[in-house]
Structure 1
Protein backbone atom coordinates (compact mmCIF):
# COMPACT_ATOMS: atom_id res chain seq x y z
CA UNK A 1 0.00 0.00 0.00
CA UNK A 2 1.25 3.52 -0.80
CA UNK A 3 2.85 5.14 2.23
CA UNK A 4 0.82 8.34 1.81
CA UNK A 5 -2.43 6.36 1.71
CA UNK A 6 -1.46 4.71 4.99
CA UNK A 7 -0.77 8.09 6.56
CA UNK A 8 -4.01 9.66 5.35
CA UNK A 9 -5.96 6.67 6.64
CA UNK A 10 -4.34 7.31 10.00
CA UNK A 11 -5.31 10.96 9.78
CA UNK A 12 -8.93 9.97 9.37
CA UNK A 13 -8.64 8.10 12.67
CA UNK A 14 -6.96 11.11 14.22
CA UNK A 15 -9.84 13.28 13.09
CA UNK A 16 -12.36 11.03 14.82
CA UNK A 17 -10.25 11.01 17.97
CA UNK A 18 -9.56 14.72 18.09
CA UNK A 19 -12.56 16.51 16.59
CA UNK A 20 -14.07 17.12 20.02
CA UNK A 21 -10.89 18.76 21.32
CA UNK A 22 -10.88 21.86 19.15
CA UNK A 23 -12.73 23.97 21.67
CA UNK A 24 -14.51 27.28 21.09
CA UNK A 25 -13.02 30.05 19.00
CA UNK A 26 -10.88 32.54 20.92
CA UNK A 27 -11.44 36.26 20.44
CA UNK A 28 -8.21 38.09 19.65
CA UNK A 29 -7.14 41.65 20.45
CA UNK A 30 -6.99 44.32 17.73
CA UNK A 31 -3.61 45.08 16.16
CA UNK A 32 -1.49 47.86 17.66
CA UNK A 33 -0.96 50.96 15.53
CA UNK A 34 0.42 53.52 18.02
CA UNK A 35 4.23 53.83 17.53
CA UNK A 36 5.00 54.14 21.25
CA UNK A 37 2.85 51.13 22.10
CA UNK A 38 4.51 49.12 19.32
CA UNK A 39 7.95 50.04 20.67
CA UNK A 40 6.91 48.85 24.15
CA UNK A 41 5.59 45.57 22.68
CA UNK A 42 8.85 45.07 20.77
CA UNK A 43 10.81 45.55 23.99
CA UNK A 44 8.66 42.91 25.72
CA UNK A 45 9.22 40.56 22.79
CA UNK A 46 12.99 41.13 22.98
CA UNK A 47 12.90 40.21 26.69
CA UNK A 48 11.01 37.00 25.83
CA UNK A 49 13.55 36.11 23.14
CA UNK A 50 16.46 36.61 25.53
CA UNK A 51 14.85 34.36 28.18
CA UNK A 52 14.03 31.63 25.65
CA UNK A 53 17.50 31.81 24.08
CA UNK A 54 18.96 30.70 27.41
CA UNK A 55 16.77 27.59 27.58
CA UNK A 56 17.56 25.14 24.82
CA UNK A 57 15.82 22.17 26.44
CA UNK A 58 12.05 22.46 26.39
CA UNK A 59 8.89 20.58 25.54
CA UNK A 60 5.17 21.00 25.09
CA UNK A 61 2.14 18.75 24.95
CA UNK A 62 -1.06 19.58 23.16
CA UNK A 63 -3.39 18.95 20.24
CA UNK A 64 -2.77 19.56 16.56
CA UNK A 65 -4.97 19.75 13.47
CA UNK A 66 -3.46 19.67 9.98
CA UNK A 67 -5.29 20.29 6.72
CA UNK A 68 -3.52 20.03 3.37
CA UNK A 69 -5.67 20.59 0.26
CA UNK A 70 -8.77 19.44 2.13
CA UNK A 71 -7.18 16.33 3.66
CA UNK A 72 -6.04 16.08 7.25
CA UNK A 73 -7.00 15.31 10.81
CA UNK A 74 -6.46 15.95 14.50
CA UNK A 75 -4.52 14.29 17.26
CA UNK A 76 -2.19 14.62 20.23
CA UNK A 77 1.27 16.13 19.77
CA UNK A 78 4.30 15.87 22.03
CA UNK A 79 7.29 18.02 21.02
CA UNK A 80 10.60 17.59 22.87
CA UNK A 81 13.61 19.76 22.12
CA UNK A 82 17.08 19.12 23.52
CA UNK A 83 19.40 21.74 22.15
CA UNK A 84 19.32 21.26 18.39
CA UNK A 85 17.78 17.78 18.50
CA UNK A 86 14.01 17.39 18.30
CA UNK A 87 11.47 14.60 18.53
CA UNK A 88 7.88 15.21 17.48
CA UNK A 89 5.32 12.51 18.31
CA UNK A 90 1.76 12.43 16.96
CA UNK A 91 -0.81 9.95 18.21
CA UNK A 92 -4.47 9.01 17.99
CA UNK A 93 -5.80 8.05 21.44
CA UNK A 94 -8.61 5.79 20.14
CA UNK A 95 -6.69 3.76 17.54
CA UNK A 96 -3.34 3.96 19.38
CA UNK A 97 -1.65 4.77 16.09
CA UNK A 98 1.44 6.93 16.49
CA UNK A 99 4.19 8.50 14.42
CA UNK A 100 7.52 9.99 15.46
CA UNK A 101 9.66 12.46 13.55
CA UNK A 102 13.20 13.17 14.73
CA UNK A 103 16.05 15.32 13.48
CA UNK A 104 18.63 17.97 14.27
CA UNK A 105 18.53 21.69 13.50
CA UNK A 106 22.13 21.61 12.25
CA UNK A 107 21.22 19.01 9.66
CA UNK A 108 18.37 18.85 7.17
CA UNK A 109 18.22 15.07 7.60
CA UNK A 110 15.45 13.37 9.55
CA UNK A 111 13.80 10.07 10.42
CA UNK A 112 10.08 9.26 10.32
CA UNK A 113 8.80 6.22 12.25
CA UNK A 114 5.41 4.54 12.54
CA UNK A 115 4.67 4.05 8.84
CA UNK A 116 3.87 0.76 7.17
CA UNK A 117 7.05 -0.81 5.85
CA UNK A 118 9.26 0.57 8.59
CA UNK A 119 11.05 3.86 9.31
CA UNK A 120 11.92 6.29 6.53
CA UNK A 121 15.04 8.46 6.52
CA UNK A 122 16.06 11.30 4.23
CA UNK A 123 18.56 14.09 3.76
CA UNK A 124 15.76 16.70 3.78
CA UNK A 125 13.36 16.22 6.68
CA UNK A 126 10.73 18.57 5.27
CA UNK A 127 10.79 16.80 1.89
CA UNK A 128 10.65 13.46 3.71
CA UNK A 129 7.54 14.57 5.59
CA UNK A 130 5.90 15.93 2.43
CA UNK A 131 6.56 12.79 0.38
CA UNK A 132 5.33 10.48 3.14
CA UNK A 133 2.30 12.47 4.30
CA UNK A 134 1.49 15.20 1.82
CA UNK A 135 2.16 17.80 4.52
CA UNK A 136 4.16 20.80 3.28
CA UNK A 137 5.28 22.20 6.65
CA UNK A 138 8.37 24.30 7.50
CA UNK A 139 9.33 22.03 10.38
CA UNK A 140 12.55 23.76 11.37
CA UNK A 141 10.85 27.16 11.47
CA UNK A 142 8.16 25.67 13.71
CA UNK A 143 10.84 25.16 16.36
CA UNK A 144 10.74 28.95 16.79
CA UNK A 145 7.20 29.74 15.69
CA UNK A 146 5.67 27.48 18.33
CA UNK A 147 7.43 29.57 21.00
CA UNK A 148 6.21 32.86 19.55
CA UNK A 149 9.47 33.75 17.77
CA UNK A 150 10.36 34.56 14.17
CA UNK A 151 12.84 32.25 12.45
CA UNK A 152 16.00 34.35 12.50
CA UNK A 153 17.81 31.83 10.28
CA UNK A 154 15.42 32.27 7.37
CA UNK A 155 16.18 35.41 5.34
CA UNK A 156 15.50 34.59 1.68
CA UNK A 157 12.28 36.61 1.69
CA UNK A 158 13.58 39.28 4.08
CA UNK A 159 12.91 39.63 7.80
CA UNK A 160 9.64 38.40 9.26
CA UNK A 161 6.75 40.85 9.48
CA UNK A 162 5.45 41.04 13.04
CA UNK A 163 2.22 42.57 14.36
CA UNK A 164 1.34 43.12 18.01
CA UNK A 165 -2.04 43.10 19.73
CA UNK A 166 -3.31 45.85 22.02
CA UNK A 167 -2.40 43.69 25.03
CA UNK A 168 1.26 44.05 23.96
CA UNK A 169 1.72 40.42 22.90
CA UNK A 170 2.68 39.12 19.48
CA UNK A 171 -0.45 38.88 17.34
CA UNK A 172 0.93 37.50 14.07
CA UNK A 173 4.03 37.02 11.95
CA UNK A 174 4.51 36.50 8.24
CA UNK A 175 7.43 34.47 6.97
CA UNK A 176 8.15 32.05 4.09
CA UNK A 177 4.71 32.84 2.69
CA UNK A 178 3.09 31.61 5.93
CA UNK A 179 0.91 33.72 8.19
CA UNK A 180 1.21 32.58 11.81
CA UNK A 181 -1.50 33.89 14.17
CA UNK A 182 -1.11 33.72 17.94
CA UNK A 183 -4.70 33.44 19.09
CA UNK A 184 -4.21 32.93 22.82
CA UNK A 185 -1.38 32.98 25.38
CA UNK A 186 -0.47 31.49 28.73
CA UNK A 187 0.24 34.37 31.13
CA UNK A 188 3.76 34.80 32.60
CA UNK A 189 4.57 32.42 35.46
CA UNK A 190 7.47 33.24 37.74
CA UNK A 191 10.48 34.01 35.55
CA UNK A 192 8.88 32.37 32.53
CA UNK A 193 7.38 34.88 30.08
CA UNK A 194 4.01 34.55 28.36
CA UNK A 195 3.92 31.53 26.04
CA UNK A 196 1.59 30.69 23.13
CA UNK A 197 -1.46 28.62 23.98
CA UNK A 198 -3.17 28.57 20.58
CA UNK A 199 -1.50 29.05 17.18
CA UNK A 200 -2.88 28.95 13.64
CA UNK A 201 -0.52 28.89 10.63
CA UNK A 202 -1.70 29.02 7.02
CA UNK A 203 -0.25 29.19 3.52
CA UNK A 204 -2.13 28.53 0.28
CA UNK A 205 -4.10 25.32 0.85
CA UNK A 206 -2.24 24.25 4.00
CA UNK A 207 -3.28 25.04 7.56
CA UNK A 208 -1.92 23.95 10.94
CA UNK A 209 -3.77 24.56 14.21
CA UNK A 210 -2.01 23.97 17.52
CA UNK A 211 -3.43 24.10 21.05
CA UNK A 212 -0.79 23.74 23.77
CA UNK A 213 -1.85 22.18 27.06
CA UNK A 214 1.48 22.52 28.85
CA UNK A 215 4.93 24.05 28.41
CA UNK A 216 8.01 22.76 30.24
CA UNK A 217 11.49 24.30 30.38
CA UNK A 218 14.65 22.95 31.97
CA UNK A 219 16.84 25.35 33.92
CA UNK A 220 19.86 26.65 31.95
Structure 2
Protein backbone atom coordinates (compact mmCIF):
# COMPACT_ATOMS: atom_id res chain seq x y z
CA UNK A 1 0.00 0.00 0.00
CA UNK A 2 2.79 2.46 0.94
CA UNK A 3 4.56 1.64 -2.33
CA UNK A 4 1.42 2.50 -4.34
CA UNK A 5 1.04 5.83 -2.51
CA UNK A 6 4.70 6.66 -3.18
CA UNK A 7 4.30 5.84 -6.89
CA UNK A 8 1.10 7.93 -7.06
CA UNK A 9 2.89 10.88 -5.41
CA UNK A 10 5.81 10.59 -7.85
CA UNK A 11 3.43 10.54 -10.81
CA UNK A 12 1.57 13.61 -9.54
CA UNK A 13 4.80 15.52 -8.90
CA UNK A 14 6.23 14.65 -12.30
CA UNK A 15 2.95 15.65 -14.00
CA UNK A 16 3.09 19.05 -12.29
CA UNK A 17 6.64 19.64 -13.47
CA UNK A 18 5.66 18.89 -17.09
CA UNK A 19 3.05 21.64 -17.26
CA UNK A 20 4.66 24.48 -19.24
CA UNK A 21 4.88 27.80 -17.48
CA UNK A 22 2.61 30.34 -19.16
CA UNK A 23 4.22 33.71 -19.88
CA UNK A 24 2.99 36.52 -17.64
CA UNK A 25 1.38 38.39 -20.54
CA UNK A 26 1.65 38.51 -24.30
CA UNK A 27 3.64 41.26 -25.98
CA UNK A 28 1.67 44.24 -27.30
CA UNK A 29 3.67 46.95 -29.11
CA UNK A 30 1.13 49.66 -28.28
CA UNK A 31 1.58 49.02 -24.55
CA UNK A 32 5.36 49.44 -24.81
CA UNK A 33 5.54 52.90 -26.40
CA UNK A 34 5.42 54.79 -23.08
CA UNK A 35 8.73 53.17 -22.06
CA UNK A 36 10.53 55.01 -24.85
CA UNK A 37 10.19 58.15 -22.72
CA UNK A 38 12.51 56.67 -20.07
CA UNK A 39 15.75 58.67 -20.09
CA UNK A 40 17.75 56.24 -17.93
CA UNK A 41 17.64 52.49 -17.55
CA UNK A 42 19.92 49.53 -17.09
CA UNK A 43 19.70 45.78 -17.33
CA UNK A 44 21.77 42.66 -16.83
CA UNK A 45 21.29 39.46 -18.76
CA UNK A 46 22.63 37.07 -21.38
CA UNK A 47 23.21 37.73 -25.05
CA UNK A 48 23.90 35.46 -28.02
CA UNK A 49 24.97 36.91 -31.38
CA UNK A 50 25.16 34.58 -34.38
CA UNK A 51 25.77 34.99 -38.11
CA UNK A 52 27.08 32.77 -40.92
CA UNK A 53 30.71 33.37 -39.90
CA UNK A 54 30.76 33.56 -36.11
CA UNK A 55 28.85 33.28 -32.86
CA UNK A 56 29.29 34.96 -29.50
CA UNK A 57 27.61 34.10 -26.17
CA UNK A 58 28.18 36.56 -23.34
CA UNK A 59 26.77 38.07 -20.21
CA UNK A 60 25.64 41.64 -20.81
CA UNK A 61 25.24 44.69 -18.59
CA UNK A 62 23.81 47.74 -20.39
CA UNK A 63 23.43 51.22 -18.90
CA UNK A 64 21.60 53.83 -20.93
CA UNK A 65 21.10 57.55 -20.50
CA UNK A 66 20.17 60.27 -22.98
CA UNK A 67 23.71 60.88 -24.24
CA UNK A 68 25.49 57.55 -23.75
CA UNK A 69 25.15 53.78 -23.82
CA UNK A 70 27.64 51.70 -21.84
CA UNK A 71 27.60 48.03 -22.73
CA UNK A 72 29.77 45.51 -20.91
CA UNK A 73 30.13 42.04 -22.43
CA UNK A 74 31.73 39.19 -20.49
CA UNK A 75 32.47 35.78 -22.01
CA UNK A 76 31.80 32.39 -20.39
CA UNK A 77 33.58 31.82 -17.06
CA UNK A 78 34.42 35.55 -16.99
CA UNK A 79 36.82 35.12 -19.92
CA UNK A 80 37.10 38.10 -22.23
CA UNK A 81 35.59 41.34 -20.98
CA UNK A 82 34.79 44.13 -23.42
CA UNK A 83 33.35 47.52 -22.52
CA UNK A 84 31.71 49.47 -25.32
CA UNK A 85 30.66 53.10 -24.83
CA UNK A 86 28.55 54.66 -27.56
CA UNK A 87 27.86 58.38 -27.94
CA UNK A 88 26.81 60.35 -31.01
CA UNK A 89 29.34 59.51 -33.75
CA UNK A 90 31.84 57.93 -31.34
CA UNK A 91 32.45 54.39 -30.07
CA UNK A 92 34.99 53.55 -27.38
CA UNK A 93 36.04 49.90 -27.03
CA UNK A 94 38.03 48.76 -23.98
CA UNK A 95 39.07 45.10 -23.79
CA UNK A 96 41.03 45.48 -20.55
CA UNK A 97 44.37 45.69 -22.33
CA UNK A 98 43.73 48.39 -24.89
CA UNK A 99 41.25 51.21 -25.22
CA UNK A 100 40.43 52.38 -28.75
CA UNK A 101 38.21 55.21 -29.91
CA UNK A 102 36.44 54.99 -33.27
CA UNK A 103 34.45 57.65 -35.07
CA UNK A 104 31.54 56.93 -37.37
CA UNK A 105 28.51 54.67 -37.44
CA UNK A 106 28.26 52.66 -34.23
CA UNK A 107 26.74 49.58 -35.93
CA UNK A 108 29.73 49.26 -38.27
CA UNK A 109 32.28 49.75 -35.49
CA UNK A 110 30.60 47.26 -33.13
CA UNK A 111 30.22 44.68 -35.94
CA UNK A 112 33.93 45.01 -36.76
CA UNK A 113 34.93 44.65 -33.10
CA UNK A 114 32.60 41.74 -32.23
CA UNK A 115 32.67 40.02 -35.59
CA UNK A 116 28.84 39.86 -35.75
CA UNK A 117 26.02 42.33 -36.42
CA UNK A 118 24.60 44.20 -33.43
CA UNK A 119 22.41 47.21 -34.33
CA UNK A 120 23.18 49.23 -31.19
CA UNK A 121 21.15 52.34 -32.10
CA UNK A 122 17.94 50.37 -32.71
CA UNK A 123 18.63 47.79 -29.99
CA UNK A 124 18.44 50.43 -27.26
CA UNK A 125 14.75 50.83 -28.20
CA UNK A 126 14.10 47.16 -28.94
CA UNK A 127 15.24 46.01 -25.50
CA UNK A 128 12.44 48.14 -24.01
CA UNK A 129 9.92 46.45 -26.30
CA UNK A 130 9.51 49.32 -28.76
CA UNK A 131 10.60 50.18 -32.26
CA UNK A 132 13.31 52.73 -33.03
CA UNK A 133 11.35 55.96 -33.61
CA UNK A 134 13.43 57.29 -36.52
CA UNK A 135 12.78 54.23 -38.73
CA UNK A 136 9.65 52.77 -40.28
CA UNK A 137 8.38 49.45 -38.97
CA UNK A 138 5.68 46.87 -39.62
CA UNK A 139 3.94 45.38 -36.60
CA UNK A 140 3.78 41.58 -36.46
CA UNK A 141 2.23 39.20 -33.91
CA UNK A 142 4.63 39.18 -30.97
CA UNK A 143 6.92 41.87 -32.43
CA UNK A 144 7.68 43.87 -35.57
CA UNK A 145 9.92 44.20 -38.65
CA UNK A 146 12.31 47.14 -38.69
CA UNK A 147 15.32 47.94 -40.88
CA UNK A 148 15.31 44.35 -42.20
CA UNK A 149 15.24 42.82 -38.70
CA UNK A 150 12.38 40.67 -37.40
CA UNK A 151 12.14 41.48 -33.69
CA UNK A 152 10.11 39.11 -31.50
CA UNK A 153 9.36 39.09 -27.80
CA UNK A 154 9.17 35.55 -26.43
CA UNK A 155 8.45 36.33 -22.80
CA UNK A 156 7.54 39.40 -20.78
CA UNK A 157 8.15 40.14 -17.10
CA UNK A 158 6.55 42.44 -14.55
CA UNK A 159 9.02 45.00 -13.16
CA UNK A 160 7.34 47.28 -10.64
CA UNK A 161 4.38 48.80 -12.46
CA UNK A 162 5.70 48.01 -15.96
CA UNK A 163 5.66 45.02 -18.22
CA UNK A 164 9.11 44.61 -19.84
CA UNK A 165 10.79 42.11 -22.13
CA UNK A 166 12.39 39.07 -20.53
CA UNK A 167 13.27 37.17 -23.73
CA UNK A 168 13.61 38.65 -27.20
CA UNK A 169 15.11 37.71 -30.54
CA UNK A 170 16.05 39.73 -33.61
CA UNK A 171 16.83 38.12 -36.97
CA UNK A 172 18.11 39.57 -40.24
CA UNK A 173 19.34 37.38 -43.08
CA UNK A 174 21.72 34.94 -41.34
CA UNK A 175 22.28 37.15 -38.29
CA UNK A 176 20.44 36.39 -35.05
CA UNK A 177 20.39 38.12 -31.68
CA UNK A 178 18.94 36.41 -28.63
CA UNK A 179 18.63 38.37 -25.38
CA UNK A 180 17.45 37.22 -21.97
CA UNK A 181 17.08 40.02 -19.41
CA UNK A 182 17.60 38.81 -15.85
CA UNK A 183 17.27 42.14 -14.08
CA UNK A 184 16.00 45.61 -14.99
CA UNK A 185 16.88 48.83 -13.16
CA UNK A 186 15.22 52.24 -13.53
CA UNK A 187 16.97 54.89 -11.37
TM-score range, shorter chain: 0.7 to 0.9
Change (3 A) 1:198 1:96: same
Change (3 A) 1:115 1:173: farther
1 or 2, which has the higher strand percentage? 2
Larger-gyration structure (1/2): 2
Q: CA RMSD in A?
A: 2.7
- 1:163 is displaced (CA, Å) by 2.5
- 1:95 is displaced (CA, Å) by 4.4
Q: Deviations over 1:75-134 (max 9, x none)?
A: 100000022311000002524320011112xx2321111176542422222111122232
Structure 1 stretches of at least 4 aligned residues deviating more than 3 Å after TM superposition:
25-28, 115-118
Change (3 A) 1:77 1:58: same
Count of residue pairs the alignment pairs up: 167
Q: Distance in 2 between matches of 1:85 and 1:115?
A: 20
Q: Secondary structure at the match of 1:130?
A: helix
What TM-score results when the alignment is normalised by the length of structure 2? 0.78
Which of the residues 56, 60, 64 maps onto 1:77?
A: 60
Unaligned runs of 5+ in 1: 1-24, 33-40, 165-170
What TM-score results when the alignment is normalised by the length of structure 1? 0.67
**1:131 matched residue in structure 2:** 112
**Aligned partners of 2:54 and 2:116 also within 8 Å:** no
Which of the residues 188, 201, 204 maps onto 2:170?
A: 201
**1:213 matched residue in structure 2:** 182
Change (3 A) 1:94 1:124: same
**1:94 matched residue in structure 2:** 77
Q: Distance in 2 between matches of 1:172 and 1:26?
A: 21
